[in-house]
């Protein structure tokens, strides 16, 4: 009986979540479509420029042909409805620039971005963890100051500049690594370091403060009085407490990493979703832009949901879908 | 319980990581040892994985890459040259006989015939075919193609068009055979298409049976590096042998130090202001002329392109364009003359605030440009400063290209700084008849000059190049006098090689790049 009740709550909760997700995506699609619709300039000319990038002028017949093809003479809501109904039926449209289906372009670029972001994230988090752990072990020590300094430098240094510096040193001067491109693990090293440095910088500052906060909590003193070793206090308690808020920030960082890939992929002339988005915006390839913006929104929403689930696992006080449990037990949780 | 969950989470993460790294195992087509491979950094990559040269503007890349060829070519002095056609003649105002070069082979080894050429051109109008191109179809205006014999074709156009042969130099007017799985693009050029990665890479290999002789390189890999600084570093690192669009400041430094294998040549790409002449302050011709006289074009080139990336414009076509440039014209910097001209026209600063007045009001012009070409913004900024020197206030901003056009058309702005290839197909008609002929769609100036309109019509109707030259000479003169367009500078392409590149030459319309002569010294 109890199982079926909790299963029901889980179902209601999940349905609520999915409903919220659909609402967010609908809102994003409407806003993005509105922005592209009201973007200055003739949209037919924009499509013509995407198709024929080396041409500045187009005959009126060519532009009229494009208007017919994309129903550009229709009012806003008709155009939005047409686009949305196609989108929902799985037809994401073709790129204006290449006429290749948007989905195919997306799939062929996703793997490279996944490789880059995952590598950078793992690398950056490992470094951030070690740096903040060393820093917190003895606050105010030389190691702590070093970690804080490194984090500040990382936060202040733009990806673009760091990327160029790395190319200059490791590719142009030392000739150890390729300056650009993809294909071999060696191609991944410099872009991953560039992106990871940013993760390390932002996470070290946060992890350090979360750990310091956890370390200063009154229960730590109680544990000490009970004779628990410092090592155990740190690894079993401090770290675990620091992990809960850190996870939220890491989740947000993953989403921001997608933004970071735009610059890094362009600097290192890698393919991927970041450079694809930048290229699409420059050529005003609207179907591609709409798809990528919706994808980013989806990633943000899914990541936020995942963070809540993982936080649940780590912190027994928090419950994903907790509102429903609380509601069913007849009141707000303390 | 928690540990088990964490373990599964770690396993999932490791799985994702493994998937991501599996992606790394895909290696690009590596050049075989002992073979000559040229690696080139280009600014823009292919638009799809099998870019049919006839569709959209794919032809520009495949033409530059030496994969596809046209019937007629453009020489390095912008004159018409036989290419796949051995000879061509005008039979009547709407008929052109083209004799094919004998012994030309396609990449699949078959000999090119007149029927192949006809079939290739017909695909342009077939909707759904990868080579479908409505823009090219309109440009060529072909009514019918008659195969007279294996080597001869008769092109019949819908309307008389003296520019027809020039339009055959358009890289999209390429001759191709239907592709196969093994050979997705079957052209006739010195190099065979191997593969393309969208916006990234274009790879080719040698075509030993090329009609112009055996190419010297085995492979060519063209990588799209949109950031010129990265391209320069890639050259330094030895990752590429040649950078076609090198950053101008670095080029100037290499030139000063006498280092590097430098290539530079002016192109037909013109940076110019389109001016609102129909209404507003710039309807005043003296004011337009004073602005042109007040522009120190050499300083603009020095400041926005390090003095190496451009050449001061004297008219709409560069002096190197032997076929059509009116070399007797000049656009000189003469601030004293500009001031005298303004004073004479009664455009003076009467209230002593440093700004001249027109019809009792301080002159304040709105100047716009757009992002996309690095030199546009500094050119706009320097122009603003130069106008200030003349006592003319200018408000500048970067906006969107088409939005600027609409604003100019509505008279909301006064000048729009742009960059256009003035003769992409070698014919002089395109640029003036698109921008300054009365009532045409891109005449956002609202400019109208019956003499110029008549000359443009005569230029299009005449089939005698000498007569045409005299018309276009006068057209260039009228533009310099009336200034509905104020030319600023012609872009110079700067390229740098690793010291081993041989047989490379910059084409003024950027139409060609890989030729049979291109080589890499040992």
* B58-108 tens-digit pLDDT: 899 999 999 999 999 999 888 899 999 999 999 998 999 999 999 999 999
Query: H-helix or E-strand containing B258?
Result: none
Q: How many CB pairs under 8 A join A and B?
A: 152
pLDDT of residue A252: 77
Q: How, if at all, do strands B519-520 and B501-502 pair?
A: antiparallel
Give me the residue from B28, B237, B238 closest to A183, CB to CB.
Answer: B28
Share of residues in chain A with pLDDT > 70 (%): 91
Could you write out the DSSP letters of every residue in B38-71?
Answer: EEEEESS--SSSS--TTSTTHHHHHHHTTS--BS
CA A51 to chain centre: 30
Going by C-beta distance under 8 Å and a sequence separation of 6 or more, which residues neighbour residue A122?
B17
Top-confidence residue, B470 or A15: B470
Provide mean pLDDT across the span B307-321. Answer: 90
Chain B residues lying within 8 Å of A97, measured CB to CB: 47
Count of CB atoms within 10 A of residue B139's CB?
22
Question: What token pair was written down for B166?
Answer: 């020039």
pLDDT of residue A300: 84
pTM of the predicted protein model: 0.81
Q: How far apart are CA A270 and CA A274, in angstroms?
A: 9
Give me the residue from A118, A184, A266 closest to B226, CB to CB.
Answer: A266
The domains of chain A are located at: 2-88, 109-283
pLDDT of residue B179: 94
CA B279 to chain centre: 31
Classify burial at B27, counting beta carbons within 10 Å of its beta carbon; exposed 0-12, middle 13-18, buried 19 or more. exposed
Q: How far apart are CA B267 and CA B77, in angstroms?
A: 11
pLDDT of residue B240: 95
Q: What is the pLDDT of residues A228-238, one digit of tens each?
A: 888 888 888 88
A276 contact B CB<8A: yes
pLDDT of residue A4: 56
B10 to each of A262, B4, B5, B7, how far by Cα in Å?
A: 28, 10, 9, 5
Question: What token pair was written down for B18?
Answer: 């493994």
Degrees, nearest 5: CA angle B146-B152-B155: 40
Question: What token pair was written down for B260?
Answer: 């590097």
Write down the H helix ranges in B28-152.
58-64, 114-122, 134-140
Mean pLDDT of all residues in chain B? 90
Question: How many residues appear in chain B?
Answer: 522
Give me the residue from B28, B197, B230 closest to A267, CB to CB.
Answer: B230
Q: What is the pLDDT of residues A63-121, one digit of tens each?
A: 888 888 888 888 899 989 988 998 889 888 888 877 789 999 999 889 889 999 999 99
B25 to each of A112, A115, B202, B342, how far by Cα in Å?
A: 12, 12, 20, 69
User: Hey, what's the torsion of the CAs at A37, A40, A46, A50, to 10 degrees?
Assistant: -90
Contact B381, B396 (CB under 8 A): yes
What ipTM score was computed for the predicted complex, to two decimals?
0.74
Going by C-beta distance under 8 Å and a sequence separation of 6 or more, which residues neighbour residue A253?
A121, A199, A202, A203
**Range of lowest pLDDT (A314-323, B355-364, B423-432):** A314-323
Q: How far apart are CA B86 and CA A168, in angstroms?
A: 50
> B90-106 burial string, b = 16+ CB within 10 Å, else e?
eeeebbbbbbbbeebeb
**Is the pLDDT assigned to residue B176 strictly greater than 60?**
yes
pLDDT of residue B281: 96
- Put simply, the chain A residues between 176 and 205 with a CB less than 8 A from any chain B CB are 178-185, 188
Q: How far apart are CA A145 and CA B393, in angstroms?
A: 53
Q: How far apart are CA A272 and CA A274, in angstroms?
A: 6
Helix (H, G, I), strand (E, B) or coil at B265: strand
- Put simply, the chain A residues between 58 and 87 with a CB less than 8 A from any chain B CB are 58-62, 65
> B435-450 burial string, b = 16+ CB within 10 Å, else e?
bbbeebebbbbbbebe
Q: How, if at all, do strands B191-197 and B142-149 pair?
A: unpaired
pLDDT of residue A327: 41
Provide mean pLDDT across the span B351-374. Answer: 90
- In this structure, what are the phi and psi dihedrals at residue B219, rounded to the nearest 5 degrees? -140, 150
Q: How far apart are CA B188 and CA B175, in angstroms?
A: 8
Contact A261, A75 (CB under 8 A): no
Mean pLDDT of all residues in chain A? 82
Question: How many residues appear in chain A?
Answer: 334
pLDDT of residue A323: 47
What's the start-to-end Cα distance of chain B, in Å?
A: 66
Q: What is the pLDDT of residues A122-152, one digit of tens each?
A: 999 999 988 888 888 888 888 888 888 888 8
Q: What is the pLDDT of residues B226-283, one digit of tens each?
A: 888 889 999 999 999 999 989 888 899 999 998 889 999 989 999 999 999 999 999 9
pLDDT band at B387 (very low <50, low <70, confident <90, very high): very high
**Is the pLDDT assigned to residue B25 strictly greater than 50?**
no
Q: What CATH number has the domain spanning A109-283? A: 1.10.3720.10
Chain B residues lying within 8 Å of A172, measured CB to CB: 233, 236-237
**Is the pLDDT assigned to residue B386 strictly greater than 50?**
yes
Q: What is the pLDDT of residues B122-132, one digit of tens each?
A: 999 998 899 99
- Put simply, the chain A residues between 145 and 164 with a CB less than 8 A from any chain B CB are 164
What's the start-to-end Cα distance of chain A, in Å?
A: 26
**Is the pLDDT assigned to residue A325 strictly greater than 60?**
no
pLDDT of residue B455: 96
Question: What token pair was written down for B352?
Answer: 């002593």
Most A CBs within 10 A among B402, B403, B435, hence the mutation to make, goes to B402
Contact A267, B234 (CB under 8 A): no
Question: What token pair was written down for B125?
Answer: 């109008």
């Amino acid at each position: 009986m109890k199982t079926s009740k909790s299963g029901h709550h889980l179902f209601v909760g999940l349905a609520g979540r999915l409903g919220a997700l659909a609402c967010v995506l609908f809102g994003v699609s409407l806003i993005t479509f509105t922005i592209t619709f009201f973007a200055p300039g003739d949209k037919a000319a924009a499509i013509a420029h995407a198709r024929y990038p080396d041409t500045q002028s187009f005959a009126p017949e060519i532009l009229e042909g494009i208007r017919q093809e994309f129903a550009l003479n229709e009012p806003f809501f008709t155009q939005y409805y047409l686009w949305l109904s196609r989108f929902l039926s799985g037809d994401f449209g073709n790129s204006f620039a290449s006429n290749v289906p948007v989905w195919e372009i997306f799939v062929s670029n996703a793997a490279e971005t996944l490789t880059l972001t995952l590598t950078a994230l793992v690398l950056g988090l490992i470094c951030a963890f070690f740096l903040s752990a060393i820093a917190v072990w003895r606050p105010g020590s030389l190691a702590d100051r070093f970690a804080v300094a490194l984090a500040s430098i990382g936060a202040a240094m733009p990806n673009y500049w760091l990327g160029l510096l790395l190319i200059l040193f490791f590719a142009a001067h030392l000739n150890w690594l390729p300056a650009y491109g993809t294909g071999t693990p060696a191609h991944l090293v410099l872009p991953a370091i560039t992106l990871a440095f940013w993760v390390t910088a932002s996470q070290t500052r946060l992890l350090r403060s979360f750990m310091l906060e956890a370390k200063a909590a009154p229960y730590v003193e109680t544990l000490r009085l009970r004779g628990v070793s410092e090592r155990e206090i740190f690894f079993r308690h401090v770290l675990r407490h620091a992990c809960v808020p850190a996870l939220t920030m890491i989740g947000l960082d993953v989403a921001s990493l997608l933004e970071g890939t735009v610059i890094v992929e362009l600097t290192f002339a890698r393919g991927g979703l970041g450079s694809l988005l930048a290229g699409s915006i420059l050529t005003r390839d609207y179907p591609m832009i709409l798809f990528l913006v919706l994808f980013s929104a989806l990633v943000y929403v899914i990541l936020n949901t995942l963070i809540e689930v993982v936080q649940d696992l780590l912190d027994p006080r928090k419950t994903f879908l907790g509102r429903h449990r609380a509601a069913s037990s007849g009141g707000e949780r303390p | 319980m928690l540990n088990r969950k964490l373990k599964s989470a770690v396993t999932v993460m490791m799985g994702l990581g493994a998937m991501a790294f599996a992606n790394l195992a895909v290696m690009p087509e590596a050049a075989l040892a002992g073979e000559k491979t040229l690696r080139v950094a280009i600014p823009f990559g292919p638009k799809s994985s099998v870019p049919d040269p006839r569709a959209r503007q794919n032809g520009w890349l495949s033409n530059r890459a030496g994969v596809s060829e046209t019937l007629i070519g453009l020489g390095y002095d912008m004159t018409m040259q036989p290419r796949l056609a051995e000879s061509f003649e005008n039979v009547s105002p709407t008929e052109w006989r083209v004799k094919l070069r004998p012994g030309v082979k396609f990449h699949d080894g078959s000999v090119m015939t007149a029927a192949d050429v006809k079939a290739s051109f017909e695909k342009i109008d077939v909707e759904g075919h990868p080579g479908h191109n409505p823009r090219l179809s309109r440009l060529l205006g072909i009514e019918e193609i008659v195969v007279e014999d294996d080597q001869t074709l008769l092109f019949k156009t819908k309307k008389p068009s003296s520019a027809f042969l020039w339009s055959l130099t358009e890289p999209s007017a390429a001759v191709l055979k239907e592709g196969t799985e093994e050979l997705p693009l079957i052209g006739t050029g010195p190099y065979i298409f191997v593969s393309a990665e969208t916006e990234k890479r274009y790879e080719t290999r040698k075509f030993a049976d090329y009609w112009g002789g055996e190419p010297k390189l085995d492979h060519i890999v063209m990588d799209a590096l949109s950031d010129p600084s990265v391209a320069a570093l890639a050259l330094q690192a030895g990752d590429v042998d040649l950078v076609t669009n090198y950053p101008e400041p670095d080029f100037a430094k290499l030139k000063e130090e006498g280092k590097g294998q430098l290539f530079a040549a002016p192109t037909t790409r013109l940076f110019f202001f389109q001016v609102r002449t129909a209404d507003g302050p710039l309807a005043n011709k003296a004011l337009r002329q004073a602005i042109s006289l007040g522009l120190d074009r050499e300083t603009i080139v020095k400041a926005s392109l390090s003095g190496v990336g451009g050449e001061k414009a004297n008219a709409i076509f560069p002096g190197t364009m032997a076929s059509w440039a009116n070399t007797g014209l000049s656009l000189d910097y003469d601030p004293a003359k500009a001031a005298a001209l303004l004073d004479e026209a009664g455009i003076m600063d009467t209230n002593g605030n440093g700004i001249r007045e027109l019809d009792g009001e301080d002159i304040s012009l709105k100047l716009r440009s757009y992002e996309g070409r690095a030199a546009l913004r500094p050119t706009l900024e320097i122009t603003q400063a130069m106008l200030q020197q003349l006592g003319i206030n200018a408000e500048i901003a970067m906006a969107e290209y088409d939005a600027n056009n609409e604003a100019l058309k509505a008279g909301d702005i006064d000048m729009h700084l742009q960059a256009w290839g003035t003769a992409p197909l070698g014919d002089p008609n395109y640029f003036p008849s698109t921008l300054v002929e009365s009532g045409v769609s891109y005449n956002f100036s609202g400019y109208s000059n019956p003499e110029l309109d008549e000359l443009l019509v005569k230029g299009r109707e005449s089939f005698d190049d000498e007569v045409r030259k005299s018309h276009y000479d006068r057209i260039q003169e009228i533009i310099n006098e009336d200034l509905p367009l104020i030319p600023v500078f012609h872009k110079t392409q700067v390229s740098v090689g690793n010291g081993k590149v041989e047989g490379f030459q910059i084409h003024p319309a950027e139409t060609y790049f890989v030729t049979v002569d291109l080589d890499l010294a040992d």
